Structure 1
Amino acid sequence: MTKTVYATLHDREWLHLEEPMELPANARVRITIESGAEPDAAPPRSFLDVVQGLELDGPSDLSTRFHDHLYGNGDTGR
């Protein structure tokens, strides 16, 4: 039987299969390791790339007056 199954290596010691295998207990198997993501998977994006893509709208001075806007202290210019 030949089957391709994706797995994640944890703590450099054990593999966690993404789907169950129909094998008897203590079955001996041969494993071929191919490192990397699935060929069709999109490359990972950084958090900043994701946030920039959201096109959020907010006050122009949010970075300098964050606490004022968050807690409503003082004049927020609105």
Structure 2
Amino acid sequence: HCDIVFLCVAPHHIRYIIDDIRDRIKSKVLIYSLVLGFPSLKLSSLLKHILIIKPSYQLNEAIDKDESLWPADDDIESII
């Protein structure tokens, strides 16, 4: 028995996992999906479950400009 289920599988495996867990997940269990490329609404529909969290990721502008987030000339103590 658990309060949170973490889904961490490759997108092409998710349908097999859904078939296996659909009837085992209780209504108050939170599902945290880390499956990339698989929309949470589709997951909710296939699992017949509404308590689903899926993180969204955003790239930092510094990464887009190919700049480091960690200044190379600073020592680790000043960064932390």
Same fold (TM over 0.5): no
Q: Which has the larger radius of gyration?
A: 1
TM bin, normalised by shorter chain, reads under 0.3
Q: What TM-score do the two structures reach when normalised by structure 2? A: 0.22
Q: What TM-score do the two structures reach when normalised by structure 1? A: 0.22
Instruction: Name the one with the larger helix percent.
Output: 2
